[in-house]
Structure 1
């Protein structure tokens, strides 16, 4: 089954609302235009398989949300460096809270780890970065936001899939309407799944009849683990880490072009990774561990394959990443995100 990337829309806490003030205000539809569109999407959703009972309940008095269109169109243009990104996410409080959570849910994490064959530290790291261990899930109603984004023409087809998936969740009684809450862009629960991802990867691990990614930690852990390990690509390797930070060889400028992929496919982050080489080959090119030691050790074999990732280019930090890293990218196709997950997981290395 096709997997959708988890699209995470990040509005950084250091951007005040005034950062949006220069963006052109969106033109909202007239009541007649909205009702015409609502009638059309109602019929389309019903053909898709959503019951009229659900559609009548969710579409009655449904109005477009100006603030959603504003946020979607007017995200700040300022860019941040990898150093800044890590600074705001790999804070001491997040690390400490993660250590506390690992101890608190030790038994549950061990069960999930054995069932899905994945290290607990990666589950906790994604949990921590996505929702600050469940404390920041978003309180927006999902249906109005997704309906607004579907009406808007920028990414209508993508959001239509999310809208229909959310309606199916309600139609199949997977969640109650008043509890279908999340971010303004549709990311839900402690795992911040989009509706399509929920239908594909959410897990009712305790068999209570609910795939509860909002309030049930065992379902949260299982859903994260299921998503990372069930992708239709290279399987997760629980004997291997995500990657290692490295020092570049002195002749990196000379060999850099030879390391690039030819006709790469995938999201930007996947395409920007280097070609694959063994640890032995990277060592022969002059790459060393960040502490100056050899790349291979008792956990990393010379035969392991890795790719070079430099999130800020040749002048920034460099990493050799293994197959598990690509699974993290499917959660959010951003080197900043995936490396931060890896670095946070390293803080929990004694799990």
Structure 2
């Protein structure tokens, strides 16, 4: 075990060597300072002993943080991968299975069940793929690394606070290499701000307690501005000669103005008569598909800043609700 640790430390040192921001302080000394800061913030020594004793930097975390994607997916490739028919079918089955739980949560937070399940499905394939990294160790690795140390140090402190509050045991706090946790993949700061103890057992458990998982997703969207009387958007058909800069510049106009400019539903019908503010989004560029999006699209973007992700979540939610978004 000692040799394995030395090899891991050597690998980590090699990967960090090329970074001007790499931490020159020994990890043990850095960790001791972190513990002192955590104690000052009110975190119990027993929690720190349980969470931090014996931890080491994880070379694989640094490797993943440095890794650049080898290719970029087109929007259609992304949709094919993230919203396949198999996920739609599975999502519909999950909605039926959890209907009795989803309905009151949807009513309470004003977020449709289909949207809750869509985000659950995209984030972790309905709880199947939640990551296999120890969150505290992964966050400590990234906080120590130096490239984005301030961000990850704060997330690490939030993770230690979550442990101190008794929501989860240290060994059970498993997530992605970057510290996203549970079946809805909240970062620790998002957990502290939005996770909900819907089950009433005194713990906010987004790892194994289904009521808390669903309610936390709904609470997040509700708190960041989801409007219960609106949808996220819809695919549209643009007129010949449409000025693509209107989409590129995220121009907002009332639906009636887009209608007057010749924008139509994907099936060619008139746009809705309700005059909501709306934008046109063209994720594949001027020659690709077009969507008209509303305020709830912006709420999804606060969950994940990727336009591809937000459109996929909207498309999947429509499919789960058997909504023909072309109409």
Instruction: Give me the TM-score of the superposition, normalised by structure 2.
Output: 0.89
Aligned counterpart, 1:263: none
Deviation at 1:108, TM superposition (A): 0.6
Higher relative contact order (CA 8 A, sep 6+): 1
* 1:166 alignment partner, one of 159, 163, 167: 159
Give 1:284's match in structure 2, choosing from 260, 263, 266.
260
- Corresponding position of 2:234: 244
Between the aligned partners of 2:177 and 2:61, the Cα distance in structure 1 is 6
- 1:308·1:320 contact (CA, 8 Å) conserved in 2? yes
**Using a 3 Å threshold, how does the CA distance of structure 1 residues 203 and 273 change in structure 2: closer, same or farther?**
farther
**What secondary structure does 2:16 align onto?**
coil
**Offset from partner CA, 1:263-309 (integer Å, 9 cap, x none):** xxxxxxxxx6622111110011111111111112xxxx341111111
Deviation at 1:169? 0.6
Runs of 5+ consecutive residues of structure 1 not aligned to the other structure: 1-23, 261-271
1:313 — aligned with what?
Answer: 285
Cα offsets for 1:44-67 (capped at 9, x unmatched)? 222233222222332221111111
By how many angstroms is 1:349 displaced? Answer: 2.0
Map of 1:15 onto structure 2: none
State the secondary structure of the residue aligned to 2:131.
Answer: coil
Aligned position for 2:313: 341
Aligned-residue offset at 1:194: 0.5
Cα distance in 2 for partners of 1:302, 1:239 equals 11
Root mean square deviation of aligned Cα:
2.0
* Cα pair distance change 1:281/1:67, threshold 3 Å: same
| Matching residue within 290, 296, 299 for 1:324 | 296
Any conservation in 2 of the 1:165–1:195 contact (CA below 8 Å)?
yes
1:32 Cα shift?
A: 6.9
Does 2:256 match 1:274? Answer: no
Bigger helix share? 2
CA contact (8 A) 2:16 2:145 kept: no
Q: Deviations over 1:62-102 (max 9, x none)?
A: 11111100010013242111111011111111110001011
Normalization by structure 1: what TM-score? 0.83
Which residue pairs with 1:120 in the alignment? 113
